[in-house]
Amino acid sequence: MNELLIIAAPDLMTQRGAWLESLETERRYSVNTLHAYERDTRQFLNFLTGHLAGPPTLADIHTLRPADLRAFLAARRRDGSGNRSLGRHLAGLRSFLRYLERKGLVNAAGAGAIRSPRQPKSLPKPLTDRQALNVVSSDAQMHETPWIAARDAAVLTLLYGCGLRISEALGLTPDDLSQGATSLRITGKGGKTRLVPLLTVVFEAVTTYRKLCPYHLEDGKPLFRGARGGPLQPAIIQREMQKLRSAFGLPDTATPHALRHSFATHLLAGGGDLRTIQELLGHASLSTTQVYTGVDTARLLDVYDRAHPRA
């Protein structure tokens, strides 16, 4: 069967089209998500055509059982879909069924009764020491305007030197980095506050930016500004990091958040203990921080495989 062709009753196709349009115009989903949800529901309706021995209707969707959904997921697994893809299939179907339920057309309880496939834990992908130092260097910044290049270097240095999330770095105000400060008080997820040591090199990078910035940086207002003086947006730093990836030949995993991963991984490799790293990152649970032990072990095994004469 041509998967681009959908065999389903007109009433169901009309509602599917309205749902996809609502995701685009009202929910403003990304193009990639819209394409994925369109494909997932197309595959599901085509599956039902064979499963029910005829084109599915709204009445068929109303009487769907968890076993029908499990049969679809099993069919996708046989076709090579992994847990991550199966989880996305299920998310798309749940969204569609909830939309129909809100309109009083079906009961979506069956979809809610199915547990999403367990997702594999992906290890953070830190930069090497040299890569991280290259990226945060003031000389490496790509912008031609000196104060903007200094700003980008300061933000990236905060991510790597203090292990901040990008939202935490951009939420800083001038009074957070007063003259002679040796630590930063950071308010992270859930309003949790932590103290982070402020390295001299980090303070100097921020000081250079403040000296060059053409805008008045008031206490209580955002420290980092965009080209027109407004608060600096994360997308700007993400775009600059993309340019640096291209310049240094780094993988797509080299994102601003990867600098935070690098901060933790390099501390661990240097002898830092997990509890301290947990505090510095602001993790609520030690289990979240323990993922970095897997990163470090993977790095050591890679070195062993490449360097040990008996490997």
Which domain-ending residue is among 49, 81, 112? Answer: 112
166 and 59 share a domain? no
Asked about 35 being catalytic, the answer comes back as no
152 found inside a domain: yes
Higher-pLDDT residue of 103 and 272 is 103
CB 106 within 8 A of CB 97: yes
Does the active-site annotation cover 292? yes
In a domain, 3, yes or no: no
Q: Does the pLDDT at position 36 exceed 80?
A: yes
Catalytic residue among 88, 194, 260, 266: 260
Same domain, 105 and 134: no
Whether residue 67 is found in the same domain as residue 174: no
Q: Residue 64: in which H helix or E strand, if any? A: none
Any catalytic annotation for residue 260? Answer: yes
Residue 37 predicted with pLDDT over 50: yes
pLDDT band for 278, please (50, 70, 90 cuts).
confident
Tokens for 44? 């599901």
Compute the mean pLDDT over every residue in the chain, rounded to the nearest whole number: 83
Q: Which two three-digit tokens encode residue 99?
A: 């939309």
Q: Given the residues 88, 151, 165, 245, select the one marked as catalytic.
A: 165
The string of pLDDT tens digits covering residues 128-176 is 889 989 999 999 998 999 999 999 999 999 999 888 989 999 999 999 8
Answer whether residue 4 is part of any domain. no
| Per-residue pLDDT, 291 | 61
User: Band of the pLDDT at 127, cuts 50, 70, 90?
Assistant: confident
* Statement to judge: residues 63 and 17 lie in one domain: yes
**CA distances in angstroms from 211 to 158, 159, 175, listed in the order given:** 17, 20, 15
Quick check: is 74 in a domain? yes
Q: Does residue 248 lie within any of the structural domains?
A: yes
The predicted pLDDT at position 161 comes to 87
* Structural domain that includes position 41: 10-112
120: pLDDT strictly greater than 70: no
Query: Would you say residue 258 lies in a domain?
Result: yes
Q: Are residues 295 and 154 part of one domain? A: yes
Catalytic residue flag (residue 283): yes
Q: Phi first, then psi: what are they for 121, rounded to 5°?
A: -75, 120
Contacts of 159 (CB under 8 A, 6+ apart): 136, 165, 166, 169, 256, 257, 259, 260, 263
Supply the pLDDT for residue 294. Answer: 54
- Give the mean model confidence (pLDDT) for residues 26-46: 88
Q: Supply the CATH number for residue 150's domain.
A: 1.10.443.10
Task: For residue range 193-228, list pLDDT tens digits in order.
Answer: 888 888 899 999 999 999 999 999 999 999 999 999
- The number of folded domains in the chain is 2
Residue 85 and residue 220 share a domain: no
Out of 35, 185, 189, 275, which one is annotated catalytic? Answer: 189
Asked if the model's pLDDT at residue 273 lies above 70, the reply is no
- Measured CA to CA, the distance from residue 306 to residue 301 in angstroms comes to 9
